Structure 1
Amino acid sequence: MKVQVRKINEKDQEQLIIECVEVTKEVEEIKSFVLSKGTTLTGILEERIFTFPLSAVYYFEAVDERVFAYTKNHSYEMKVRLYQVEDLYKEHHFIRCGKSFVINLLKLQSISPALNGRFTAHMKNGEKIIVSRQYVPSLKKAVLGGTF
């Protein structure tokens, strides 16, 4: 595979072109990574407002009417609802896996069966998230079907 970088003069002319024989899982991951790199979120941590890249988020969690974005080292309070997160970032490989969780499939290490038809999502940062029964089929399809 060749990689080529060319300098241009205008910001609005920037683009990334992927030329491939077949659109594989790896190509889709590259596309999603590039798209999420340009997406910046704003969150609150210790009464201060921070910006951080969407690609740094492992998962979002809703707790008591509040939504938090979890990165490797911090959890930021967001001013959005969980259903909005799910809708906004589904093209960036975020998927609902429970009433209170939306996870980043690119930060998912593995999944394993749990009790009562549920699964456990093992994230690359060591966190374990329970996947509700109703979301298991869509998570399996995303992981096994290669949609991420």
Structure 2
Amino acid sequence: MKTDIQKISEGEESIVIRYKELTPDLNKIIGILEGTGSRLCGKTETGTECINIEELLYLESVDDKLFAYSGDKVLKIDGSLNSFMTDMDDGSFFRCSKSMVLNVNRVTALKSLSSNRIDATMEGGEHIIISRRYASDFRRLLKGER
């Protein structure tokens, strides 16, 4: 990537970003420049849209495609669950199954299920099942352990 930085003595400061493909790194840069924090951009039925990371309820991998769900939007995004978890290592997102990551801050209720699984009710009423493989890690997270 070519970077062109120029000091000016008068006039309005500006930043121009030219890209062939909107990557997660570019999304981070745009979020910093806009002062909106971390944003996630992806494709919807109507085009490309961006949402704040905090608005995400969960991410799900289906047939090698990654989808991000907020209350009213579904975005098809580039990358994988592993890369998302690496980028968002702040404790607010938790891998709850092989194909799903949930936003811990958007969980409204929890219920223990048989076979050591957990039913997490998200804002908006959607139910996410935390598999038994990840349930003990989730319980540790709730206790404040990492």
Alignment TM-score, normalising by the size of structure 1 = 0.70
d(CA) in 1 for partners of 2:46 and 2:114?
39
Residue aligning to 1:63:
62
CA deviations on 1:66-86 (whole Å, 9 max, x unpaired) are: 111100101100111111111
Cα deviation digits, residues 68-116 of structure 1 (max 9, x gap): 1100101100111111111111315101010111111110112211121
Question: Hey, what does 1:105 align to over in structure 2?
Answer: 104
SS in structure 2 of the partner of residue 125 of structure 1: coil
State how far apart, in whole Å, the 1-side matches of 2:51 and 2:122 are: 19
Q: Deviations over 1:33-91 (max 9, x none)?
A: xxxx5001111101511111111101101111011110010110011111111111131
Alignment of 1:1-148 (within 5 A): 38-46=37-45, 48-91=47-90, 93-145=92-144
Question: What is the aligned length?
Answer: 111
Which stretches in structure 2 are left out of the alignment for 5+ residues?
1-35
Of Structure 1 and Structure 2, which has the larger fraction of its residues in helix?
Answer: 1
Amino acid at match of 2:55: A
Give the counterpart letter for 2:60 in structure 1.
E
In 2, distance between residues paired with 1:92 and 1:78? Answer: 21
Inter-partner Cα distance in structure 2 for 1:95 and 1:129: 12
**Aligned Cα root-mean-square deviation (Å):** 1.5
| Counterpart code for 1:57 | L
Amino acid at match of 2:116: G
SS of residue matched to 1:90: coil
Q: Which has the larger radius of gyration?
A: 2
Identity level (%): 27
Q: For residue 130 of structure 2, what is the amino acid of its counterpart?
A: V
Are the structure 2 counterparts of residues 76 and 96 from structure 1 closer, same or farther at C-alpha, using a change threshold of 3 Å?
same
Q: Mind listing any 5+ residue stretches in structure 1 that lack a counterpart?
A: 1-36
